[in-house]
Chain A
Amino acid sequence: MNARTAAPARIEITVNGRPAQVVPNSYLLAALKELAIDIPTLCHHKDLTPTGICRLCVCEIEVRGKKRLVTACNYPVREALTVETHSPRVLRHRKMLAEMYLGRWPQVPVIQEVAAKCGATDGSRFRSELTDDSPTACILCGHCVKACEEFIQERILDFAGRGIKRHLTMPYNEVDPHCIGCTSCAHVCPTGAIQIVDDLNGPVDPLLIREHGMKINAEMATLDKSQCRMREVGTANIVDVMDAYDLLPVHNYKFGRHADTHKIDSKRLRREFFTQGQPDGCWNGCSMACAKTIDGFELRTGPYQGQKVLVDGPEYETAAGAANMGCFDAEFLAEYNFYCDTYGIDTISFATTMAFVMEAYENGIITKEHTGGKELRFGATAETLAVLHEMAAGSGFGVDVGKGIRWLKEKWIREYNAPADFLQDIGMEVKGLEFSEYVSKESLAQQAGYTMAVKGPQHDEAWLIFMDMVNNQIPSFEDKAEALYYYPLFRTWFGLMGLCKLIWNDVVPADNKKYRPQEAAKVPDHVNNFQKFFEGMTGIPLNEKTMLDQSARVHNLQRIMSYMLGKGTREHDMPPYRAVGPVTREEYESRQERYDKQLVDLLGVDIAGKSIEEKMSLLREHRLAQYNKVVDAAYDRRGWTSDGVPTRERLRELGIDLPELTAIIQDAWRR
């Protein structure tokens, strides 16, 4: 709900003589359900768009003095009205309708049930040569057709024929080879007319998996459009959000927002590029379908100049990378996205490295002489693409850029006598890997999440910005440490299973707020879905602990392997200062109010008369100290030594104190 629109006024209605209140535009049946009034239905499904075809939910309403019958399931309440749900007229029609069903499909249990409710016992007046005595007959409710379209957006199923010849089928009564086997149709079928089971993996209990998978499909169909709009714009929706919260990396993470973000945000992409409105899942059965594309994009540069190509993306990280380079240009975004992909270049490392190069250029650390004549200021779209093409061609400055920030820093310090401290501060890499595209300055937990990630600063191991900074749900060090324990492990779990993390919390149940905020962030109902998924597959039940332990074993294995390769200790978990606080005067001034306030409130500093440089220095000292405290707490919670090495106890507790593993790290324990 947009904050600017007022809370919806309730509409006063009268139901069976009793007053009630209804949210405007809600369907009458939903309102009646809230009032605990039971009306028989056959074609209504809580997660599918109501179409009002069985007509059993007819009610008699009176609006502005005019009486008429409407179907409650799809009648939107928009003004005051009087409803009779069980008037003699209504009951008479319901009984007749139930008889029709009973005459056509007498043995179907849901029909018998509804008929009994309607007082219909004998359908013989409606028996004909078309009467079907199967108990699992298709009753033309249309759930499957809608599920195929709304759950999965596939549209493989439809009715055929018209009138009394209407029936459900795939074309020519044959299985369409494009059916992906998601089983949504069978899940929503009330009679068992559709038989399909997803047993490719040989699961113990496929129906348990289906039951929980379909919960997510239903949420995707009903909630995504008002939550993250993953189906519509994919992860690009995050661009708008990050900009709004001052978290979008701009000019090598100096800033968190920009006046030109609208030129590359999801609204712009939706309007110009993501116009297809069709399923875009990167694997069959994915109802989130976030893998958007730009179709028929005409390239302006490089070896494929003038050709029309399909651009896979842009996803958030790629779009945010453009912002990081100061290139607020949708055409550039599409072009750099395409070429990075086809050249086999990581868009994130490319953008973060280029942002670093641009800042170095603007500070005179490198010049045209080094860049092969290219003026690589922020926003230099053509020059940036030229660098990319050089990288692919294996000649020129682009080859250097392709080696990444750590390599560039070393070279420039070594060969160009560049200021090492400044480059360390602004070179956004940890362990040699470039940061992915979130500004972590204002979130301690995100800083630690990035830098403690075993492989390097990448969000798939930790993404805590919103909990920490925006929602302030983990205020204490212990809270942060707990989050830095739980979330990296929880996110790791998806990697053990072959699953996508986006399903977990990029759409959440409508009632997720029933949990207290810290719990709600875990999306407990979804965690339960995943536990049941695993149980349905393997027969092994999971709880939160056993689930996290699965991840912890692999997480510690990876940490030990890093240690073996000479990494995996605290010194490799240290961030560049740009990730922690303002490196430059310009940055400080851009958020001066906030920083000044922190110095006063948190440190008790009298800022009067202090220069920006003095204040920056105080803030830096404070923030780095805070950072180290968080790392201490998080290591401890993870069962690691203060140097970041897993302890023997922890390995034993997890059952992975295998000799070949302990042999690698035992020297660290002795230290």
Chain B
Amino acid sequence: MSDDRIQALKAAHDVLAEFRFQPVRLERGYANRSLRIDLSTGAITELPVTRQMKDLWVGGKGFDLWYMFQEITAQTRWDSPENPLCFASGPLGGTLSFPGSGKTLVTTISPQTHSVMDCNVGGYFGPYLKFSGYDALVVTGIAADEVIAVIDAPAGRITIEKAPRESVDSHLLAEELTEMYADGDLDKKNIAVVSAGRGADHAYMGCLNFSFYDWRRQAVRLKQAGRGGLGTVFRRKKLKALVLKHRGVTPAWRVEENKVAHLITPRRVSETMAPCDREKVGRIAARWRGDPDYVIEMMQDIQDEFRHIPKPAIDELTRLTGVPKAYLYHIATFYKAFSLEPKGETTIQVCLGTACHVKGGANLLTSLERILDVKASGTTADKKYTLDAVACLGACSIAPVVKIGDEVHGNVKAKDLEKLLRQSGKQPRAPRPHEKAAAPAGDGSAPCACDLAAIRAREQACAAKYKGMLMVCTGTGCVAAKGFDIRDRLTALLAEQQLDRDYLVVPTGCNGFCAVGPIVVVQPEGTFYQMVKEGDLQEIIDSHLQGGKRVERLLHTDPVTGAVNPTMHDIAFFTKQQLIALRNKGLIDPENIDHYIARGGYEALAAVLRDRTGDEVIQEVLRSGLRGRGGGGFPAGLKWQAGRRAAQERQEEVYVVCNADEGDPGAFMDRSIIETDPHTVIEGMLIGAYAVGARRGFIYIRKEYPLAMERLQKALQQARAHGLLGERILGRDFAFDIQIHRGAGAFVCGESSALMASMSGRAGEPRAKYVHNVEFGYRDKPTVLNNVETWANIPEIMAKGAAWFAAIGTGDVSKNPWDGSAGTKVFSLVGNIRNTGLVEVPMGITLREIIEDIGGGIPDGRAFKAVQTGGPSGGCLPASLLDMPVDFDSLTAAGSMMGSGGMIVMDDHTCMVDVARYFIDFLMDESCGKCTPCREGLKALSGTLNRICRGEGRPDDLAFLEELSATVAETSLCQLGGSAPNPVLSTIKYFRDEYLEHIEQKRCRAGVCKELITYTILETCTGCGACRKPCPTGAISGAIKELHVIDQALCIKCGICYEVCKFDAVEVK
């Protein structure tokens, strides 16, 4: 309702009578006085409540009748002026701690029975009347004009006012008066209105409406005192309404201050918000249709818009979505993506993923803290920068990684940071991928969108017109190394030289060999150019494309033999791999669905829809032995079967969900699959949906993966346009569509029940899974959840058959999928290894083959120390286990796990105690805090490990770590806690002597634990000064060409001197 209209209504009011009153404290349920309003005379008086009244008539209807008895005679008729309307609560009325205490009792002489009528009614009038200090209200007399009576308790004022212009019908009148007398929205719940309606003007069966404000619906609600014509009497008195304004009943609630609350409660928040900002919040909510399930998405948009979650935005969001404020606050303080206080203009994210950690990411953070003079999570005083430590940016192959604004920087060194900061924002923003570079025009006769064969034929014909294709890697790793620039430059050069009719530039997803990006592969023969710079492109054109001669210096060279490997088929990194999930890697433009179709994409779906029933599909998946690639290794077929059965038995909708919340630090398989070949995931989900009978699917993807998100969105749009999502897919009686949920930065959301809580717009807390998600999952409906890689395998399994897949890998899964590990597994191979990147290998391959043959071994002449698999909750395996086959069961038996497929190689400069501490700190930070062992146990594990790393270890620490680890592992509610102690237990198991060295000798042999090491400059120092300049504390002194010295008192052990010294003259001990 407009303010103008309210003002106009109010302006027409004329106060006919006024009465001032003092509030009273209620005693034992009574105000001990009542109120009488005579509409004929305008007299407003207080009536006594006597001891006798309480003893005999108690209250409520008893008081009403007694007061009435004083007012009427045997001759009083319903329409006599003296016929009173009496209103009362009762001594127990209004009690909040006892349900059902809100009734108002009303009596009068009825126009229907001509006798005493009584009625009870809900709404807030009775309790507010009492809390205003009156046990009952007697309204008598007949007004000359239409009036309202207003009891304004906060003002201590009662008035009778002429109210000629308000509506008569209750739903309008109650709203008008509520708006008119409330001081803002929050006060509306303190207004209670009694009214009748125009029907009561004519009928004897008129009723009264008692209002209350429903703040969730933002609407005035009405409860009726229905019987016997009370409304008729009300209107006969020319009463339009009774209005009661109360000061509210919000209690003095207090919770014992928790010691951590102050860590979160923001110090500076704005209580107000400009109307235009409020509108922005409204638009954001509207973008997600106000759907409470998407409230986390809305909050991400709000965070992006305002660089924090403003306090009024939470109120606004509650109003718009109905999601309780407390839940929104929980979300805002739970997910890392949100901040309650404004962030700086540019956010600098320092990746502390495992790969970055072992490559010195923590040093980058301390350096940045020093440079910017803020602590992690802080914002610089000039509001320019916010410095955040993040769990993993998924660019592990180019570790250590720092992201400044939107730009990812790989292989960062501490000494480069200031330069990077200076450059940031000065360069134009890296261009986003777009279609114009690739999409071949075709011959103009576009085939039917869903005619796969026609599309394939057209694509192949189109490709045949070119002499060659230049596949430019635009995966995250290569993009960080200017992959987009290479693509754009190459496209431009070809066009300039009119070679674009013969050669096509195709931006591909991650090639996998991230260590040597940016990568350009010339197809069809597969010439592999690595570390390509913009300046190299013309030479490739001139020499290779025009001259037919490869550019030798850009080819890959075997680091051991020195042999030149001209094509991908010559490089060991590729030859030992077997590609299923990554089969299209580097061969297609991920943003072009026709490329996928050209390579047989969606054929498996078409065949399934044509030839098989859902049950047959499930049987095929079961026989393939495919086990979930997300970490648990649960057979996918069994899960599908259970989901289909649960849906059929309960006649419920079933959902399929893709878990793309790849939170494991050191892992980026899922991101790469989506960036490389999003349609294989979509096709997999389509087949799964068909098999289990789902109509709706969801992909839950990390917000930290913008490129993957963008490609996924494009892929979904294209699939819809091709009739591959939506109604009647491929012309069959099958409908399915997929929606995306963005995760907001919580590792625990990778856990299935937490993921579903998050999808429902809640804090991502797991629940006990004694009842499985596949039976009661998202929205309590059967839900089939698989991770990206699992879905990506499905189309190929359906295309080539279960037997083909089962033959790859270990064990015989033909009878029971638990009997082995079939198929391949994608690993992100990172850390101290030469060929970092993404690899897909058959199950059962040994660690040694992966690390030495594919990975090319440990660089810089260092020695292998351990490989960490399975993400943060995995374990560290020593050299003695290098010949172990890599499959689900072997890894578990060795105290590690498959996890989603992170594989971090560590050399002898890695401290295993520090690694355990690192993982436990990570997990402590990511624990949702719901269950005790995970919350308190990880805190204690972290405390103990940090103590050991500081050199304060005690003899009984190892026993405590082991004992505590067992309790955390065995009693935690979900698998985050359940597997959290693995890094501790596996490092104690395989590297016990390192722990003992830390505890007993206070020594860190790897030179990592700062409190235990010193940097010294050896005699071999040439006095070049390279270390003196970058030293942040000025701890290094020494004249040029003379031996330098480190002042140990000043040294903060940042390691820059060690990093920059070209003469190995800095020693860490």
Interface centre among B207, B228, B258, B973 (most CB of A within 10 A): B258
| B960 in contact with A155 (CB, 8 Å) | no
- Interface stretch, picked from B22-30, B149-157, B516-524, B647-655, is B22-30
Task: Report A156-180 CB contacts with B as 1/0, cut-off 8 Å.
Answer: 1111111111111111110111111
- What sequence of 0s and 1s flags, for each residue 371-410 of chain A, a beta carbon within 8 Å of any chain B beta carbon? 0000000000000000010011110001101111011000
Which candidate, A348-356, A618-626, A633-641, is the interface stretch facing chain B?
A: A348-356
Interface status of A539 (Cβ within 8 A of chain B): yes
Which of B112, B170, B928, B937 is the one whose CB lies under 8 Å from A344? B170
B366 contacts the other chain (CB 8 A): no
State in angstroms the CA–CA spacing of A130 and B266 once bound together. Answer: 19
A550 sits at the interface (CB 8 A): yes
CA distance A656 to B91 in the complex (A): 20
Do A497 and B59 touch (CB < 8 A)? yes
Instruction: Let me know if B967 and A161 touch, CB within 8 A.
Output: no
CA of A406 to CA of B1031 in the docked complex: distance in angstroms?
102
Q: Could you tell me the distance between the alpha carbons of A310 and B221 in the complex, rounded to whole angstroms? A: 8
Selected contact of A533 from candidates B98, B330, B939, CB within 8 Å: B98
Q: Confirm or deny: B74 has a beta carbon within 8 angstroms of a beta carbon on chain A.
A: yes
Q: Is B990 an interface residue (CB 8 A)?
A: no
Q: Is B222 in the interface zone, CB < 8 Å from A?
A: yes
Asked if A342 and B171 sit within 8 Å, CB to CB, the answer is: yes
Q: Could you tell me the distance in whole angstroms from the C-beta of A51 to the nearest C-beta in chain B? A: 7
Is residue A2 contacting chain B, with contact meaning CB distance below 8 A? no
B57 interface contact, C-beta 8 A: yes
Contacts of A56 in B (CB 8 A): 932
Residues of B within 8 A of A406 (CB): 112
**Of B112, B201, B202, B933, which is within 8 A of A404 by CB?**
B112
Closest to B54 in A: A538
Interface residue? A203 (CB, 8 A): yes
Residues of B within 8 A of A340 (CB): 199, 207
- A158: shortest Cβ distance to chain B, in Å? 4
Q: Does A85 touch B at the CB level, under 8 Å?
A: no
Contact B223 A282 (CB under 8 A): yes
A206 to B29, CA, bound (A): 11
When distances are taken between beta carbons in the complex, the residues of chain A under 8 Å from B195 are 344
Bound Cα distance A220, B94 (Å): 19
- A341 on the interface (CB 8 Å rule)? yes
Asked if A293 and B56 sit within 8 Å, CB to CB, the answer is no
- Pick the interface stretch among B116-124, B635-643, B1050-1058: B116-124
Contact residues in B for A159 (Cβ distance below 8 Å): 330, 763, 929
A54 contact set on B, CB distance < 8 A: 931-932
Chain A residue with minimal CB distance to B200? A344
Evaluate whether A100 and B933 lie within 8 angstroms (CB atoms) in the complex, with A349-B205, A494-B120, A565-B74 already known. Answer: yes
A249 at interface, CB cutoff 8 A: no
Q: Does A650 contact B (CB under 8 A)?
A: no
| B746 interfacial contact with A, CB 8 Å | yes
How many residues on the A side are at the interface (Cβ–Cβ under 8 A)?
A: 172
Interface string of B879-920 (1 = CB under 8 A from A): 000000000000000000000000000000000000000000
B395 interface residue (CB < 8 Å to A): no
Inter-chain contacts of A175 with B (CB < 8 A): 250-254
In the complex, the answer to whether B249 meets A200 with C-beta atoms within 8 Å is yes
Q: Closest CB of chain B to A556's CB: distance in Å?
A: 10
- B235 contact from A163, A206, A341, A344, Cβ within 8 A: A344
Kindly report which residue of chain A lies nearest to residue B324, judged by CB atoms: A155
Q: CB of A132 within 8 A of chain B?
A: yes
A575 within 8 A of B: no
Q: Give bound CA distance, A404 to B207, whole Å.
A: 13
Q: Is B927 a contact partner of A164 (Cβ separation < 8 A)?
A: yes
Question: B102-110, B581-589, B717-725, B813-821: which one contacts chain A?
Answer: B102-110
Query: B93: nearest residue on chain A (CB-CB)?
Result: A498
B383 to chain A, nearest CB (A): 22
Interchain CB contact under 8 A, A533 and B92? yes
User: Is the CB–CB distance between B967 and A162 below 8 Å?
Assistant: no
Contact assessment for B967 and A454 in the assembled complex, using a CB-CB cutoff below 8 Å: no
Q: Which A residues from 398 to 425 make CB contacts under 8 A with B?
A: 398-399, 401-404, 406-407
Nearest to A315 among chain B residues (CB) is B224
Q: B768's contact among A74, A89, A287, A347, by CB below 8 Å, is which?
A: A74
B95 & A209 in contact (Cβ 8 Å cutoff): yes
| CB neighbours of A136 from chain B (8 A) | 256
Nearest CB of chain A from residue B63's CB, rounded to whole Å: 8
B325 within 8 A of partner (CB): yes
A474 beta carbon closer than 8 Å to chain B: no
User: With A175-B253, A204-B28 given, is the CB distance from A498 to B113 under 8 Å?
Assistant: no
Mark A213-250 against chain B: 1 for CB-CB distance below 8 A, else 0: 11011001000000000000000000000000000000
**Bound state CA distance, A369 and B56, in angstroms?**
54
Verify B199–A180 contact, CB threshold 8 A.
no
Write the nearest CB–CB distance from A157 to chain B, whole angstroms.
6
Q: A537's contact among B68, B89, B95, B970, by CB below 8 Å, is which?
A: B95
CB neighbours of A169 from chain B (8 A): 255, 258, 261, 265, 329
Contact pick for A193, options B124, B256, B967, CB 8 Å? B256
**Which of chain B's residues 307-346 have a Cβ closer than 8 Å to chain A?**
311, 314, 322, 324-330, 333-334
Among candidates A132, A194, A495, A498, residue contacting B101 with C-beta atoms closer than 8 Å: A498
- Contact residues, A531-569 vs B (CB, 8 A): 533-534, 537-539, 550, 553-554, 557-558, 561-562, 564-568
Q: Is A8 an interface residue (CB 8 A)?
A: no
Chain A residues positioned under 8 Å from B90 (CB to CB): 495-499
Contact B113 A194 (CB under 8 A): no
Of the listed residues A212, A497, A567, the one surrounded by the most CB atoms of chain B closer than 10 A to its CB is A497
**Which B residues touch A344, using CB under 8 A?**
169-170, 195-200, 206-209, 231, 234-235
The 8 Å CB contact of A403, one of B57, B93, B130, B204, is: B204
| Cα A202 to Cα B95 with chains together (Å) | 10
Of A103, A104, A162, the residue contacting B333 (CB under 8 A) is: A162
Is A162 within 8 A of B936, CB to CB? no
Which stretch in A13-21, A455-463, A581-589, A596-604 binds the other chain?
A455-463
Provide the residues of chain A in CB contact with B196, threshold 8 Å: 344
A97-B971 in contact (CB<8A)? yes
Q: Given contacts A345-B203, A496-B58, are A158 and B324 in contact (CB under 8 A)?
A: yes
CB distance from B80 to the nearest CB of A (A): 11
Given contacts A158-B324, A202-B26, A344-B208, contact A565 B311 (CB under 8 A): no
Does the CB pair B205–A350 fall under 8 Å? yes
**CB of B264 closer than 8 Å to a CB of A:** yes
Closest to B256 in A: A193
- Nearest to B943 among chain A residues (CB) is A128
Q: Which of B257-277 contact A (CB under 8 A)?
A: 258-261, 263-266, 269
Could you tell me if A210 and B97 are in contact, using CB atoms closer than 8 angstroms? yes
Residues of B54-92 contacting chain A, CB below 8 A: 56-62, 65-66, 68-69, 72, 74, 76, 88-92
Smallest CB separation, A314 vs chain B (Å): 12
Residues of A within 8 A of B126 (CB): 498
Chain A positions 77 through 104: 1 when the CB is less than 8 Å from some CB of chain B, otherwise 0: 0000000000001001100110011011
Cβ of B511 within 8 Å of any chain A Cβ, yes or no, is: no
Write out, one digit per residue, whether chain B residues 811-839 have a CB within 8 A of any chain A CB (1) or not (0).
00000000000000000000000000000
Closest to B250 in A: A177
Return A95 CB to nearest CB of chain B, in Å: 9
Interface flags for B1-44 (1: CB within 8 Å of A; 0: not) read: 00000000000000000000000011111000000000000000
Q: Which of B210-218, B420-428, B440-448, B526-534 contacts A (4 or more CB under 8 A)?
A: B210-218
20 contacts between A and B (CB under 8 A): A55-B971, A75-B768, A97-B967, A126-B936, A137-B256, A159-B929, A160-B330, A161-B261, A202-B29, A285-B101, A291-B122, A341-B209, A399-B202, A402-B202, A455-B110, A456-B110, A533-B98, A538-B29, A561-B115, A566-B74
Q: Which 7 A-B pairs have the closest CB atoms?
A: A283-B102, A498-B93, A402-B203, A344-B197, A498-B90, A343-B199, A282-B122
Contacts A455-B116, A499-B92 supplied; 11 other A-B pairs, CB < 8 Å: A55-B932, A163-B935, A165-B260, A310-B171, A346-B229, A407-B204, A455-B118, A497-B90, A499-B90, A554-B58, A554-B65
